[in-house]
C-alpha cells in the first residue's frame, strides 16, 4: 500500500517509527509487509491502527493503476464485485486527491 505524507504524519503521531512500518519499493514509500501480511495486522487479522489507517486502505479495493492512469478495482480482491458505482466513484475521488501527496523516491539517482 502506497503511503501519502498525511498517512505518515498520522502514523508517526501514534508512536510508530517510520522504518518499522514502511519501506521504499517500486519507487514509492509503502507499508511494510511481514510474512506476507501488513505490518499493522495483529495475530487475529485486525488492523491495529484502523481509525488512523492509510488512505489506500480506506479506498480499497479501489486502487490507482499507474500504467493505465485510472482508478480500478483490485483484481485480486475477492470482494471487488461488491463495490457499486457510487462507492467506486467516491473512493476514486479520494485517491485522485491524494496523488500529489504520494512519497516517491528517485530511482535514477
Mean pLDDT over 41-60 rounds to 95
Q: What is the reported pLDDT for 104?
A: 86
Residues 70-87: tens digit of each pLDDT = 999 999 999 999 999 999
Task: Report the alpha-carbon distance of residue 48 to residue 97 in Å, rounded.
Answer: 25
Contacts of residue 46, defined as CB under 8 A and 6 or more positions apart, other chains included, come to: none
The answer on pLDDT for 42 being more than 90 is: yes
Look up the pTM and report it: 0.85
The string over 76-91, giving b where at least 16 C-beta atoms fall within 10 Å of a residue's C-beta and e elsewhere, is eeeebeebeeeebeeb
Extended strands (E) in the chain: 22-25, 28-31, 33-34, 37-38, 62-65, 70-73
Domain boundaries defined on the chain: 5-101
Amino acid at each position: 500500500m502506497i503511503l501519502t505524507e498525511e498517512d505518515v504524519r498520522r502514523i508517526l503521531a501514534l508512536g510508530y517509527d517510520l522504518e518499522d512500518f514502511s519501506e521504499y519499493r517500486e519507487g514509492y514509500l509503502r507499508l511494510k509487509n511481514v510474512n506476507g501480511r501488513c505490518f499493522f495486522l495483529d495475530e487475529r487479522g485486525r488492523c491495529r491502527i484502523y481509525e488512523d489507517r492509510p488512505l489506500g486502505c480506506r479506498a480499497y479495493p479501489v486502487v490507482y493503476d499507474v500504467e493505465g492512469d485510472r482508478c480500478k478495482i483490485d483484481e485480486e480482491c475477492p470482494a471487488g464485485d461488491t463495490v457499486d458505482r457510487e462507492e467506486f466513484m467516491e473512493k476514486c475521488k479520494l485517491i485522485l486527491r491524494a496523488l500529489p501527496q504520494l512519497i516517491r523516491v528517485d530511482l535514477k539517482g
